[in-house]
């Protein structure tokens, strides 16, 4: 054992094993997590997604958003929904089944105020995927004949229409579902702290970079049709929920007489809704539900919205209504809505 060659070879072997050990340790050690932000454009709006993870998941985010679009977008001519609207197929995929079933529930409890078959009326008034540019009462009455989700039903995964002219536009709920689906993907990848925001709809989970609840600013209802103006009415702190705001102060058009035409269409009258609610912010377990209720409250108006909110302790809401000579607007919050703090 005193052979110098043996001692030299043994030293070399030990050195090699040491190097291998170091390599193995570094290879199995988890990568250091950091806050990552992915932003971009989707569905004609911006998305901003912040999450705490060791890997940039931007490709997976884009993949989820694309998958949702190819299912539920009425603007994409190759989507499943376009095929449904054009009666090229009657088979719903998982996304459309989810949207359809939730829409039926909220349609029933809102007395028809929420209805994705309002699609041709949205087009008629110039806010949809087609602009027919005809808004006389005769046109509205003729379209109302085939508006109403009750004119459809499911047979398994098949959508049965009583009138082939019935079409869908899930824009009042699909953006929220898109936020939920991105959140689910993040969680499948082990992300527990994140915020997903698509065009103002939000899913907030876990903690923010300061290790506290997420701070969400709620915009004042400031008219700005061509640009987005963010002036905060207050900030809430919340987490593990979906948040959505709906209002007519950003998406509207002006008719020939100079009157503002709101983008929220009442499915029952077929007319743009001149609501006493300027904006509605809803917090729910998921963003899809928050998104749908926010639109519903814009149609129902203040008093009917308060009544419906009172029947659903699992959601909370903040309604901004028209003000007076001394106030630009009034704020009403349900008892379970978070405290509203002033912006710095």
26, 106: one domain: no
pLDDT at residue 222 greater than cutoff 80: no
Q: For 20-24, 73-77, 195-199, 275-279, which range has the lowest pLDDT when averaged over its residues? A: 20-24
161, 261: one domain: yes
Q: What is the mean pLDDT of residues 241-251?
A: 81
Phi, psi of 198 (to 5 degrees): -125, 110
Residues in the chain: 344
74, 164: one domain: yes
In total, how many domains does the chain have?
2
174, 186: one domain: yes
310, 327: one domain: yes
Render pLDDT for 95-118 as a digit per residue (tens, 0 to 9): 999 999 999 999 999 999 999 999
- Examine residue 342 and state whether it is found in any structural domain, yes or no: no
- Examine residue 343 and state whether it is found in any structural domain, yes or no: no
Task: Please classify residue 305 by burial: count the beta carbons closer than 10 Å to its beta carbon, then call 0-12 exposed, 13-18 middle and 19+ buried.
Answer: buried
Question: Quick one: which of 297, 189, 293, 180 has its CA closest to 241?
Answer: 180
Strands 260-262 and 34-42: unpaired
- Examine residue 344 and state whether it is found in any structural domain, yes or no: no
Q: For 118-122, 169-173, 185-189, which range has the lowest pLDDT when averaged over its residues? A: 118-122
How many angstroms separate the CA atoms of 222 and 244, rounded? 17
- Examine residue 110 and state whether it is found in any structural domain, yes or no: yes
Render pLDDT for 33-42 as a digit per residue (tens, 0 to 9): 999 999 999 9
Q: Are 260 and 285 in contact (CB under 8 A)?
A: no
How many angstroms separate the CA atoms of 138 and 127, rounded? 19
Task: Please classify residue 180 by burial: count the beta carbons closer than 10 Å to its beta carbon, then call 0-12 exposed, 13-18 middle and 19+ buried.
Answer: buried
- Tokens 């379970």 locate to 336
Average pLDDT, the chain: 86
- Tell me how far apart the terminal alpha carbons of the chain are, to the nearest angstrom: 77
In this prediction, residue 250 carries a pLDDT of 54
86, 224: one domain: yes
- pTM, to two decimals: 0.83
- Examine residue 264 and state whether it is found in any structural domain, yes or no: yes
More confident residue, 317 or 23: 317
pLDDT at residue 324 greater than cutoff 80: no
Q: What is the mean pLDDT of residues 333-342?
A: 94
253, 235: one domain: yes
Q: Which domain holds residue 201?
A: 34-333
In this prediction, residue 35 carries a pLDDT of 98
In this prediction, residue 44 carries a pLDDT of 87
pLDDT at residue 225 greater than cutoff 60: no
In this prediction, residue 49 carries a pLDDT of 98
- Examine residue 26 and state whether it is found in any structural domain, yes or no: yes
pLDDT at residue 51 greater than cutoff 50: yes
Percent of the chain having pLDDT more than 90?
65
71, 155: one domain: yes
245, 217: one domain: yes
How many angstroms separate the CA atoms of 202 and 208, rounded? 14
Render pLDDT for 69-104 as a digit per residue (tens, 0 to 9): 999 999 999 999 999 999 999 999 999 999 999 999
In this prediction, residue 230 carries a pLDDT of 60
pLDDT at residue 279 greater than cutoff 80: yes
Query: pLDDT-based confidence at 258, cuts 50/70/90?
Result: very low
- Examine residue 338 and state whether it is found in any structural domain, yes or no: no
In this prediction, residue 138 carries a pLDDT of 72
Q: What is the mean pLDDT of residues 185-210?
A: 97
- We report the CATH number of the domain holding residue 201 as 3.10.520.10
54, 134: one domain: yes
How many angstroms separate the CA atoms of 320 and 328, rounded? 10
Q: Are 126 and 134 in contact (CB under 8 A)?
A: no
In this prediction, residue 69 carries a pLDDT of 97
More confident residue, 103 or 8: 103
Question: Quick one: which of 286, 281, 315, 312 has its CA closest to 297?
Answer: 281
5, 128: one domain: no
pLDDT at residue 214 greater than cutoff 90: yes
- Examine residue 339 and state whether it is found in any structural domain, yes or no: no
17, 51: one domain: no
């Amino acid at each position: 054992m005193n052979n110098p060659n043996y001692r030299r070879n043994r030293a070399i072997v030990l050195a090699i094993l040491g190097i291998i050990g170091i390599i193995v340790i570094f290879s199995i050690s988890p990568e250091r997590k950091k806050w990552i932000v992915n932003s971009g454009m989707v569905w004609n709006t911006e998305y901003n997604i912040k999450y705490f993870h060791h890997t940039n998941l931007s490709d997976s985010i884009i993949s989820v958003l694309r998958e949702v679009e190819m299912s539920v977008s009425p603007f994409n001519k190759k989507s499943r929904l376009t095929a449904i609207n054009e009666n090229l197929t009657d088979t719903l995929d998982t996304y459309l089944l989810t949207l359809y079933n939730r829409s039926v529930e909220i349609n029933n409890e809102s007395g028809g105020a929420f209805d994705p078959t309002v699609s041709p009326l949205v087009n008629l008034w110039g806010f949809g995927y087609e602009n027919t540019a005809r808004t006389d009462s005769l046109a509205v009455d003729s379209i109302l004949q085939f508006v109403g989700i009750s004119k459809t039903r499911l047979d398994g995964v098949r959508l049965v229409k009583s009138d082939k002219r019935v079409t869908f536009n899930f824009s009042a709920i699909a953006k929220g579902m898109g936020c939920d689906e991105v959140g689910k993907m993040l969680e499948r990848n082990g992300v527990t702290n994140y915020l997903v925001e698509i065009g103002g709809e939000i899913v907030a989970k876990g903690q923010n970079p300061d290790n506290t609840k997420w701070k969400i600013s709620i915009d004042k209802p400031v008219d700005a049709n061509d640009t987005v103006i963010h002036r905060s009415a207050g900030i809430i702190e919340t987490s593990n929920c979906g948040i959505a705001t709906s209002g007519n102060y950003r998406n509207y058009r002006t008719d020939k007489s100079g009157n503002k035409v709101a983008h929220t269409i009442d499915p029952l009258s077929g007319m743009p809704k001149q609501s006493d609610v300027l904006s509605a912010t809803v917090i729910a377990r998921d963003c899809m539900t928050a998104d749908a209720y926010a639109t519903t409250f814009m149609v129902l108006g203040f008093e009917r919205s308060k009544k419906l909110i009172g029947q659903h302790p699992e959601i909370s809401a903040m309604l901004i209504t028209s003000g007076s000579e001394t106030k630009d607007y009034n704020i009403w919050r349900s008892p379970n809505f978070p405290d509203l703090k002033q912006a710095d």
